[in-house]
Structure 1
Amino acid sequence: MSPRADRWTPPGRWWLPVLFGLFALAATGVNYLSGLRDLGTQVEQAESRRLFERLVMEQTRMRLQNPDTPQPLVQQVIDGLARYQGLAEAMLVRADGMVIAALERKDAGRPFEALLNERPELAHLREFAQGPVSGPTLPVLVQRRAGTDELVGVVPYPTGSRLFTVVDLGVPLAQRHAQLRHEVLRESLLMLVVVAALAVLLHLLWFRRAQRLSATLAAFGEGRLDHRTGLRGQDELGQIGAEADRMAERLQQQQQQLRQLHALVDRSPAVVIEWANRPGWPMTYLSRNVAQWGYAPEELLNGAIDWDDLVHPDDVAQMNAEIAAHWAAGRNEYRQEYRLRRADGGYAWIDDRTSIARRADGDIDSISGILLDITAQKQAQFALREQSEVQRLFYDLPFIGMGISSPGSKQWLQVNDRLCEILGYTREHLINTPWTAFTPQPDLDRNLELLQAMMDGKTDHYMMQKRFVRGDGRLVHTLLDVRAVRAADGSLQRLFATVQDITEALQSSEALREQKALLEQAEGLAGLGSWQYDAGQRLVLWSNQMFRNIGRDPALGPPATLPDYLDCLHPGDRERIADFMRSAGSGGGVMHTEFRRHPDLGPERWFRASLEHHRTPEGGSRYSGTLLDITALKRAQIALQQTNAELERRVAERTEQLSVANRELEAFTYTVSHDLKAPLRGIDGYSQLLEEEYGPTLDDDARGFIVRIRRGVGQMSALINDLLAYSRMERRTLDPQTMNLHATVARVLDEFGADLERSGARVAVNVPEISLMTDREGLAVVLRNLVGNALKFAQPGQPPQVEVGARREGDRHLVWVRDQGVGFDMKYHDRIFGIFQRLQRAEDYPGTGVGLALVAKAMQRMGGRVWAESEPGQGATFFLEFPS
């Protein structure tokens, strides 16, 4: 039904009485039509029965009389029938066809056939004149003439006479019709009276109360839940009214609870929101605590601000994809996290818990969400994740061993790869064996003593130099730093230890001490003392020979100030040396002077002093110098040639001693490299034999251990070779010669032929015919390393692209090697040329970190310089500059 039809629907108190009245009139009309339809049949049946009874009675009377009854008596019988209502004709016909009596006396004595011919309306009697007559019970026939309102009655007599009667039904039909109309009118009036009484009764007992109930329900609909119907009784309206009042009370309580709930929602940190499934998905509800993000609910409810526009652009695609997936899976509840723009322009992280309400057909009716600001939790989560990542990266540092152990069982609970490398055991072996099993005496007792002090709560940290027995049986010297991890009650739970391998450092320190001893021996032999002074730190360093030359007691230390130093000199030379020292701050290069020491410090001795001024990176000043004892020269001025010869001999002797010392140092370097390579070759050989002989019988983990051992041996071998190459580059004698740059580049690229073909690299050479005066081998080393790096640091999945070019710029030659590889950040520019400095993980790009240091050292030795230009992901260009 349309809204317009609903609007014009009359109230029940109007249409129900009308409906009852119409029903009463319809019932009366149906009754009238039904009576009118049966009127003819009823009248016919009644009149036929009455006529039949009269004819039976007349037949009986005629039988009682003599058949020879005179004509007047028979006529009297016929005249008696005339009083029958509606009788139209009556006649008695003898067997010979003569009418002996008739209703109209003039017809008596006439032939029956002549009468029928004269009166055609009676012609139908001819069919009853002959043949037997039989009725339902007696031989009396009463029959309605077809198509007319006439009843025909035939009575046969034993004498053969027959009595014919014709009765007109029009009169009884009219009477019955009039009677029926009277009855219908009476029933109609009665029904209208009953309907009126019923309408009044319904108004009093139903409609007036229903109107009150409707007004109260309308008030409920307007939110005025304090109204009540006040209806009582056991009838339906009374029950409905009582239920409506109880419903209002419940709704009033629920409304109060709803107000409290709204207040709780508005005061809570959770924002409640609802959308309706209509075009545009309009927002139908939004709690007021959306103000925490700087918005008023009305701005979003009236569409002034679109909710989707507030979602972070980077989160929109993922959020919509997740919603589509949830809807496709038929989920009615799901959670999402995304960022929402606040009114101040910042973004808040939102935990959105969405619920979907569906209709009976399964379509979505509405979507509601509970939104919680989790910005603080997200920030804490990101901070924790960053801290965990930093801790993980720190724990996995390749140059320091780390482990966590139990103070009670002395078992390692966790170790990193570097600690496994230092101790020479697998991670499983270290974790399953207490660290006391790897510690020799007396280091073990000292370690346990420090641990007991920590367990007693006397300290939370200790450090010691400690030896461990490696897996290969050798001792490794380490610096052990242990820190306590305590519970809230102060009990010791864990030990966090860092282990640094200082074996090489101790060996280097020993070598340095030996070298220092050799240097001091050389100084002693040459009578050459050396010193340094840092003006910023006011730090003075003297060699032992300086104390011997000056004659100062080493226990006093070097002079702290310049006046103290001048007090050690001859009074006659003090002023001149003071001017010399003051002029050193402004002068450049190495300055020289001669003076004598103070007479109180021993016999007269002459010294030649050398002084050089340096600028520190911080802008300060640092001085260094030597003090050579030349007393013999001064004393042998007369025998100058002899003295000079003796001096040359002594200088040569000392030079030889220095050369010997250098050769010993070089031999030491090679010995160290040999001692390092020998066990590596053993490890490599035995691991190869182990892999070849027992590889099939080992499990995957064991074979993986062998692969890692051999990879580590290869890496260590490469590192030693690179260190030796670096050492040779630093010590070798350069052989500058004129060389063709283009030919040298071609030769180096030739050496990389197999690598270029395997990687599918594209190489462009733009080197003109340029001649350089430089060391051939040094330049080849530089080009090999740069081209090798260009091939190694290519973009993953792409063939390397390498360009080698050169040009002349003024008084210098510039050579460059350019690639399209991974590149690097320029803030690490100086770092990449340091030894062992790497910007990528060894797992991603193998190497030792010595190549670019070797390039820098070679360019330095050849009198040139090297630098690079790069951006991450954009490749790198390395420039080589040579003087022309």
Structure 2
Amino acid sequence: MSGINDIEGFHRKILNSIWIGVWAVDRNENITFFNKGMEYIFRTSGDRVLGTNVLQYIKEQSMRDQKHFCELFCRVKRTLKPAPYDSLSMITRNGSLTYQSGVLVPLIDDMGNYDGMVGTVEDITERKLIEKQTLDYLKTEKELENIYKSSPVIAFLWLAGDNRPVEYVSDNIHQFGYIPEDFTSGKMDYSDMIYPDDLGPLMFHIRKHEAEGNDYFSQQYRILTKKGNVRWVSERSLIVRDENDVPAYHQGIVVDITVQKRSHEALLEAEKKYRLIFENSPLGIFDFDKEGIVRHCNDSLIKILGLPKEEIIGFNLMTSLRDEKMKAAFESVLSKNSGYYEGEYRSTTVDKTTPIRACYSPNISEAGSIVGGIGIIEDITERKKAEEALKEYTQELARANEELKSLDRMKDEFLSNVSHELNTPIVSIKGYSTLVCDGTLGDINDKQKDALMVVLRNTQRLIHVVNSLLYISMIQTGSLECRFEDVSISDIIDNVTDDMMPLIRQKGLSLQKDIPADLPSVRGDREKLALLFTDLLDNAIKFNDPDGQIILEAEEERQEGKEEQGTIHIRITDTGIGIPEELIPKIFQRFYQVDSSAKRKYGGTGLGLYVSKSIVDEHKGRIWIESEKDAGTTVHVMLPEA
């Protein structure tokens, strides 16, 4: 037994002598061995640990990856296969972060069952920190390299000489199309890249600073890229001297400032343009500071105000303005708003009053504070004269319009009187002609009868024209009155067609009527409705072709399933010349005719459809037309039932 104990003691001595941590647990996970290396790593005594449950001990050590360790421990216990682990982090008792790696080896009894666990622990914190520092250094170096490569700054080392030979240039010279070897190989001097017109002034500037003993110099000049494009650069360099105080080389940087240079040139150009506008504007322009004191003005303002420039510059708008409205307009600027004024300016030097319009605008800094403002004064003398002339012209137009209205009323009254005067003899002519024609006043021969028929037809047409004129004159004078009653549409249409039959027969037209006798009545004016259908039938006759056809239809219409008021739908169709589609919307206008030659070919006044629509509107109905050129026309009339 003593031999065995000696061997066990020897092994324990060896395990306690190495600085790798070694620990062991029994099958119940209680720690049975904890060597000196473990004591050093965990900063604790083995006596305090022995007998402790290893998984509970791991939790007490604040191991960051304790879940991973416990899962690994259980897997080794279950599979009975060793497993390594690496870079487990743990917080020591003194609060330090450590990293550990090791191996878990299962102990197996003679029956092949789990009998405990042996583990090794190595503190790799220092290695881990070195790795992290190395990675951080590499990352920083990479970031610096990226910054350097993307930097617009090009580093140079030039030898002091007329052509400035290049000893060193940074890689980002590629932004001008070159590579460092173009210069460092001696193929090119720096002067080869400088724009020819700028080489002389640059070298003069350098020599001047060298001669004056300056340590630094800076200059802006142009260079040529490898493709021959011109770019602006800014150079700032250190003049390095040898032991004899003679310039040996220049060490400096070059930055591409083309964008800034062009922006500056554009700004100068804009400033020049705005100065030209300021100086040559017909408007008086001035600016003032936040105290309201005028700082600059153009010549136009001097001319408008009639004051010398020295009296305008320094004028205090805040304290010296006397016109309250003008002062209120200026004070709007102090509230960061624009101000407007229009009135008369009275010169203090000459006896002159000038109508002006003033506009004040605030000048606001980036911080949002008022730093002053701009004033614009306009001489509106000519505008005022134009307004007065326009006012007088408007008044003259108003007087002329009243005279025209008076003439129009006189015309309407004359038309009404003439129409009434014509109506009486026409009725007499028609009546007596009818008596003679039908033999009431004695027998007449066939030629006499034919002549009287011509008289009757033209009398009827004349009556129709007079009635239309009477109707329009009543509309114009506001004296139109309708006598509404329940009337039969079929009776009215029958009477109209009877009166128009002589004209229908004369032109050789056929008339077809499809009008039920039992149509419901409409609420209407009998005379107006007779005039309506006379006008429509007259058009159907007038614009029809010889031997053409006229169709009169009427029917009652109601919306199915509704008890609303019904309507009578009347259609008058002819087979005549028709109307172009684009002209249909215009044909209800007064005196409108589709063709200016229509008056000569067909006659008429252009009043028929205008009168027709007016009558339909008075009866709360609708009228519209469907037509096709050279194919005929259908006029639709919808009238509400009584």
Fold conserved (TM > 0.5)? no
Comparing both structures, which one devotes a greater share of its residues to helix?
1
1 or 2 for the larger relative contact order (CA 8 Å, sep ≥6)?
2
Shorter-chain TM-score: which interval?
A: 0.3 to 0.5
Q: TM-score, normalised by structure 1?
A: 0.29
Indicate the structure (1 or 2) with the bigger Cα radius of gyration: 1
